[in-house]
Amino acid sequence: MVVEEGYDGVRLGDEMTQEFIDDMTERFKNGKLIAKKYVYQILIAVKKIVYEEPTMVEVDVPEGVELTVCGDTHGQYFDLMELFRRNGSPSDKHWYLFNGDFVDRGSWSTEIALLLYAYKWLRPKGFFLNRGNHETDDMNKVYGFEGECKAKYNERIFRLFSESFSALPLATLIGSKYLVLHGGLFSDDKVTLDDIRKLNRHAQRQPGQAGLMMEMLWTDPQDEPGRGPSKRGVGMQFGPDVTKRFCENNGLEAVIRSHEVRMDGYEVQHDGKCITVFSAPRYCDSTENRGAYINIGPDYKLRFEQFDAVPHPNIRPMT
C-alpha cells in the first residue's frame, strides 16, 4: 500500500513512535484523518499484541509507577484529551488501563480507538485495554462505529477493527487485589479467577446471549441482595452479597467495572467492594454527569479523580 499523495502528517515506519502519536493526536483535533496504510499497520500490529495476551492480564504496579484506570470513553475524543491533559500522557512512569467501550455513540470513535491502539503498540507492557460490550459487531452496527468507520475509512478497516476487538482481553487483575472488567460478576457463585484465566475468548469471538464472556461484558450491580433481571434485556444484576462472596473466594479487595454512567463519574457500592468508573463526561451531550478515573500507585490505594466535559466541534453524537 502507498500513502496518499499530499499526505502532510508524520510518516510511520515499522515501529510506532511518540512523534507519530503526537502528530496523529493533533491531526484528529483538527478534523483530519491518518493515511489508510497507517490505520492498517496499527490494526494489524495491535491485534497481534492483544491476541497473545491472556484473557485476564495480570499487572503489578512497580515502584515509581502510577496506573490510571479509565472507564467508558465512547468516542468523546476531546474529553479524552482533557483527561490526558489533567492526568498526564502515557509514559514509562504512567501506565493506563482503559476498561472497554472506547467506541460507539460519540462521533470520534475511530480517533479514540486508533489513539489507544497506537499507545498499546508503543507501550505494550504499560498500556492495557479491556474489551467492553461495545467492542462487538452487534453494538457497532446499531450505535455508530461501523458507519463511522466506513464514512472515514472503509469497510475493510471496520472488519479489521472487529477482528482486533474480539482479540482483546476481557479482564485485568491489578496486584492480585482488584479485578477490573467492563460489566460485572456472574450468575454462578462458583466462578473463580481461574475460570476467567481458562476462558478461551478466541474460540468464541462474540459474547452471545449467555456464558462467562457475556456476563463479564454486560452485568450490572444492584443494591438489593441476590441477583435480579437486567434492565438491559441481556445479562443480569448482582447484589452486595454476590460481590462479597466473589471477593472472599478469590482474595480480592474489590471489583472495578464501568458500563454505566454515574453522575459523579464514579460510584462505590457494595460496602466498598464494587466500584464503577465512567470516563465520558456530559455523556452523549445530554447527561450532565462528570467523568472520572482512578489512580493506583505501588501502595494499591485507590485515588479517585473527577473531570468535566470540554467544548468540542459542533458534531452531534452518532453523526
Q: Which residues contact 213 (CB under 8 A, 6 or more apart)?
A: 170, 199, 201, 204, 207
- Where would I find the H helices in the chain? 18-29, 36-51, 77-87, 109-122, 137-143, 145-152, 155-167, 193-198, 201-204, 212-218, 240-250
Q: Residue for cell digits 460496602?
A: 271
**What DSSP designation does 317 have?**
T
Number of other CB atoms surrounding residue 250 within 10 Å: 16
For this structure, is 94 an active site residue?
Answer: no
What distance in Å separates the CA atoms of residue 245 and residue 238, rounded to the nearest whole number? 11
- Pick the catalytic residue: 134, 182, 270, 312? 134
What SS3 class is residue 183? coil
What distance in Å separates the CA atoms of residue 296 and residue 197, rounded to the nearest whole number? 23
The set of catalytic residues is 134
